[in-house]
C-alpha cells in the first residue's frame, strides 16, 4: 500500500461545477498536510495547508480527518484556470515528506 | 527575487556520462532538497541539506551525489548516468523542516 494515495482521475468537469478530491495516508503519526497544484510541465506550488479544523481560501476548502486518515480538497465554481494536477502532501516528523501521485482535473467550457 | 532557479532546463545524456545539476535560491533558506518526479508516481526525495556544508540521503539516493558548499546553492551530481535516471528533477528550499517548500522550474533529463 502506498503511503499516500490519490485517485489519479482525470476528473472532467464543466465550468461552474463543484469538484472534490480525497487523499488517504497510511501513517497515523503524520503531522502536517498540504495541497499543492502542478500545472503541465511546471513545478508544484503550494495551494493551501490543511488544518484539523478545516480551512477555506476563496473557492477552495480543505479538510482533515485524522480518525479516518484522509484529507480532502473541495473546489467550488470551477474555472478553466483550475485545470491542473493536484498533489496531496503529507509530512511526518523531520524531513519525511510524502507526495501523492496527483489527481488531474480538466475544467471545460 | 528569482526564488529557486535550476540549470540546465533540459539535458540529454548517454549512458555512463556524468553531469551536475545546479540549484540556486535567493530566499536565504537553510533547507534545500532534490526530488525526482516520474510518471504515475509522486515526487521522491533524493537528497536534502539542512544547512551549508551538510547533506543527507533521502528516499532514493543511489546513483546521485550532492554538495552544499554555499548556502544558496545545492548541486546534484550523476557520476555515471543510467536510463533509469531519466526523469524530471526538482529542487526545493524551505525555511524549516515543516515550512512550505518552494520549488524550482525543474530539469528534464533524458538518458539514452
B42 and A32 in contact by Cβ < 8 A? no
> What value does the mean pLDDT take over residues B104-110?
97
B45 and A87 in contact by Cβ < 8 A? no
Query: Considering CB atoms only, which of A91, A94, A101 is closest to B42?
Result: A101
CA dihedral B46, B34, B47, B100 (to 10 degrees): -110
Question: In 3-state terms, what secondary structure has residue A82?
Answer: helix
Is some CB atom of chain A closer than 8 A to the CB atom of B44?
A: yes
> What value does the mean pLDDT take over residues B19-25?
97
Task: State residue A2's pLDDT score.
Answer: 80
Reported as a single tens digit per residue, the pLDDT across A46-79 is: 999 998 888 999 999 999 999 999 999 999 999 9
Q: In whole angstroms, what is the distance from residue B45 CA to residue B48 CA?
A: 8
Residues from A contacting B (CB-CB < 8 Å) are 4, 8, 31-32, 34, 41-46, 49, 87, 91, 94-95, 97-102
Task: State residue A20's pLDDT score.
Answer: 96
Q: In whole angstroms, what is the distance from residue B70 CA to residue B74 CA?
A: 8
Query: Considering CB atoms only, which of B43, B90, B97 is closest to A95?
Result: B97
Nearest residue on chain B to A9, alpha-carbon basis: B40
Reported as a single tens digit per residue, the pLDDT across B43-86 is: 999 999 999 999 999 999 999 999 999 999 999 999 999 999 99
Q: In angstroms, what separates the C-alpha of A92 from chain B's closest C-alpha?
A: 9
Nearest residue on chain A to B59, alpha-carbon basis: A96
Query: Considering CB atoms only, which of A4, A32, A49 is closest to B42?
Result: A4
Q: Kindly calculate the radius of gyration of chain B based on its CA atoms and give it in whole angstroms.
A: 13
Task: State residue B45's pLDDT score.
Answer: 94
Q: What is the widest separation between alpha-carbon atoms in chain B? A: 38
Task: State residue A101's pLDDT score.
Answer: 93
Task: State residue B42's pLDDT score.
Answer: 87
Q: What is the widest separation between alpha-carbon atoms in chain A? A: 43
Query: Which 8-state DSSP code applies to residue B101?
Result: P
B56 and A95 in contact by Cβ < 8 A? yes
Amino acid at each position: 500500500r502506498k503511503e499516500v494515495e490519490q485517485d489519479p482521475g482525470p476528473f472532467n468537469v464543466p465550468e461552474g461545477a463543484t469538484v472534490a478530491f480525497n487523499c488517504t495516508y497510511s501513517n497515523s503519526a503524520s503531522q502536517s498536510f498540504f495541497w499543492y497544484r502542478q500545472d503541465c510541465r511546471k513545478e508544484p506550488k503550494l495551494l493551501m495547508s490543511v488544518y484539523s479544523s478545516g480551512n477555506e481560501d476563496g473557492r477552495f476548502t480543505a479538510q482533515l480527518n485524522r480518525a479516518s486518515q484522509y484529507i480532502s480538497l473541495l473546489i467550488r465554481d470551477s474555472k478553466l484556470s483550475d485545470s491542473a494536477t493536484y498533489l496531496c502532501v503529507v509530512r511526518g516528523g523531520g524531513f519525511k515528506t510524502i507526495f501523492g501521485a496527483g489527481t488531474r482535473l480538466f475544467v471545460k467550457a | 527575487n528569482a526564488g529557486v532557479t535550476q540549470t540546465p532546463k533540459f539535458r540529454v545524456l548517454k549512458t555512463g556520462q556524468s553531469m551536475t545539476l545546479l540549484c540556486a535560491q535567493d530566499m536565504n533558506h537553510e533547507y534545500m532538497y532534490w526530488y525526482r518526479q516520474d510518471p504515475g508516481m509522486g515526487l521522491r526525495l533524493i537528497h536534502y541539506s539542512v544547512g551549508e556544508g551538510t547533506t543527507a540521503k533521502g528516499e532514493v539516493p543511489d546513483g546521485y551525489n550532492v554538495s552544499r558548499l554555499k548556502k544558496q546553492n545545492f548541486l546534484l551530481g550523476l557520476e555515471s548516468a543510467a536510463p533509469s535516471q531519466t526523469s524530471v528533477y526538482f529542487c526545493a528550499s524551505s525555511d524549516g523542516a515543516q515550512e512550505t517548500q518552494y520549488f524550482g522550474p525543474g530539469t528534464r533529463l533524458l538518458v539514452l
